[in-house]
Amino acid sequence: MDLSLTEEQRLVQKTAADFARNEVAPLAAELDRSHRHPKELVARMAELGFLGIAVPEKYGGAGLDTVAYVLALEEISRACASTGVIMSVNNSLVCDPILKFGTEEQKERWLKPLAAGRMLGCFALSEPEAGSDAAAQKTLARRDGQGWVINGVKNWITNGPVADVCILHCMTDPPGPERGHKAISSFILPMNLPGVRCGPPDRKLGIRASQSCQIFLDEVRLGPEHLLGEVGQGFKIAMTTLDGGRIGIAAQAVGIARAAYEDAARYALQRRTFGQPIANHQSIQWKLADMATEIDAARLLTLQAAVLKDRGVRHTKESAMAKLFASEVANRAAREGVQIFGGNGYVEDYPAERHFRDAKITEIYEGTSEIMRMVIAGAILKE
């Protein structure tokens, strides 16, 4: 597979790296401590075209591709994992399904402002009792003339408290054992409708500046123009969307792993024990060597999945592999980063403990590592 970057992709990578270093990194510790939504960084990402990177320009996007998207996302997540996931959700889980399944009217009405960053989106699939088992939806859209009335609760919705629009998945028929995932449909839900209410932001272990919450839907009325795709197509829309989303989370994980590794490598050259920098000790060198090797491998898997997505080839297995591996690499790198920092890794004065906390979620959201292994096994056993 040819993974050489085009001029344009390199330019996006450099622009993202400059933005991340000069504007995102200086705020990351404060954002983490205050759990504050980085409104100013989201506005800058909109200006830079980072909120709809792979969306064609005619729909408000940057008109680039998934490879450019993962390159930018890695750089931004290297500086701040919270800012990274805000960007990832808007691109992968909101713009992408509207681009793929939306009507022309929906693209004009919703995709344009979302891709241009004039609106921010969220994606609601999970429920209190439907996380890994995504088909076990209880939220129900009942028919009301041509439209729908929706009731239910959605959980852990990233960007929920700050979103203008939600890609909502729920049952559209009375759920029954014989219908299962075929009764799920997707909707474009404006968050300011009567009956839509956000719970308080979740108090989280990591990615604390990325706000998430429960969304309560109480007799929410939607016209037929809000249906995304066809009735009963919602589970496939959600799964296809997550095939792309997992590439984004893999890129975010590579960014976190790089942060842990680069910070630890710099520290190891400065910190001295037994009369020399700890980087001279083999025990530290081996840790750094493993971190660097795994990060390259994780990035290659991520780029492979991105290239397949750009070619229009099904990438369910490859994106699951990329997310599984990259998220586990992020957690190993963050753990070793804390170890290299020693006592300084355990206190808030240094960023190592933030990377350690931020890494964990990458093994959980958009499909846990256990679900990734199920998806990969399901695919390879069919090959």
Alpha carbons 73 and 326: distance in angstroms, whole number: 14
Residue 383: active-site member: no
Q: Which residue lies nearer to ligand CAA by CB, 132 or 285?
A: 132
Interface positions with ligand CAA (CB under 6 A): 89, 93, 123, 125-126, 132-135, 156, 158, 181, 235-236, 239-240, 242-243, 316, 365-367, 371, 374-375
CA distance 333 to 308: 27
Nearest C-alpha neighbor of 166 from the set 63, 262, 93: 93
List 23, 366, 370, 383, catalytic entry? 366
Residue closer to ligand CAA, measured from CB, 125 or 257: 125
- Give the integer Cα–Cα distance in Å for 319 and 114: 24
CB of 108 to ligand CAA, least distance (A): 26
CA 364 to chain centre: 11
Shortest distance in whole angstroms from residue 304 CB to ligand CAA:
17
Provide the terminal-to-terminal Cα distance of the chain, rounded to the nearest Å: 19
**Identity of the residue, 73 or 242, whose beta carbon is nearer to ligand CAA in the bound complex:** 242
Closest CA to 152 of 168, 176, 167: 168
53 vs 288, beta carbon nearer ligand CAA: 53
**Residue 182 Cβ, how far from ligand CAA at the closest point, in Å?**
7
How far apart are alpha carbons 256 and 84 in whole angstroms?
Answer: 10
Return the bridge partners of 168, or none.
Answer: 124, 187
Tokens of 17: 């790296």
Q: Cβ of residue 52: shortest distance to ligand CAA, in angstroms?
A: 17
C-beta closer to ligand CAA: residue 183 or 279: 183
**Least CB distance from residue 107 to ligand CAA, whole Å?**
21
> How many other CB atoms sit within 10 Å of the CB of residue 284?
22
Active-site annotation, residues? 366
